[in-house]
Amino acid sequence: EPEVTQTPSHQVTQMGQEVILRCVPISNHLYFYWYRQILGQKVEFLVSFYNNEISEKSEIFDDQFSVERPDGSNFTLKIRSTKLEDSAMYFCASSLSRGPDTEAFFGQGTRLTVV
């Protein structure tokens, strides 16, 4: 069964450093998302991406964050200068079509720990 894969599973980084979280969405999907879940809190939407551009982003997704699809298969989330409060599980997701009447398939997540 096709699945969304994320690497690494766990990333530890020093505050102020840049990190790149990687995702390989399901191959025929066209819409890509990043969500995060701070420990003990709810899953929060960060950004959606379609046709090589951001289609929607939340207030969390500030100038420190960026996304790109560099090679047609990977979908990356970059945090330029990490802060302690960026520590969270980051989930990548993809979906086949646009609109809310379609389910998104999630990866297993990358646990980011900023020290």
Residues at the contact surface with another protein, assessed by CB under 8 A: 4, 6, 31, 33, 35, 41-45, 48, 50, 55-56, 58, 91, 93, 95, 98-101, 103-109
Nearer to another protein, 93 or 114 (CB): 93
Comparison of 14 and 103: residue with beta carbon closer to another protein = 103
Q: For residue 24, what is the enclosing H or E element?
A: strand 19-24
Smaller CB separation from another protein, 35 or 75: 35
Q: Specify the residue, 82 or 95, whose C-beta has the smaller distance to another protein.
A: 95
**For 34, what's the count of Cα atoms within 13 Å in the CB-facing half-sphere?**
30
**Two structure tokens written together for 93:** 């997701």
In whole angstroms, the minimum distance from the beta carbon of 85 to another protein comes to 18
| Smallest gap from residue 17 Cβ to another protein (A) | 24
Structure-token pair, residue 67: 């996304």
Q: How far is the CB of 106 from another protein (least distance, A)?
A: 4
Shortest CB 79 distance to another protein, Å:
19
Q: How distant, in Å, are the alpha carbons of 20, 65, 89, 98, 102 from that of 9?
A: 12, 19, 9, 28, 26
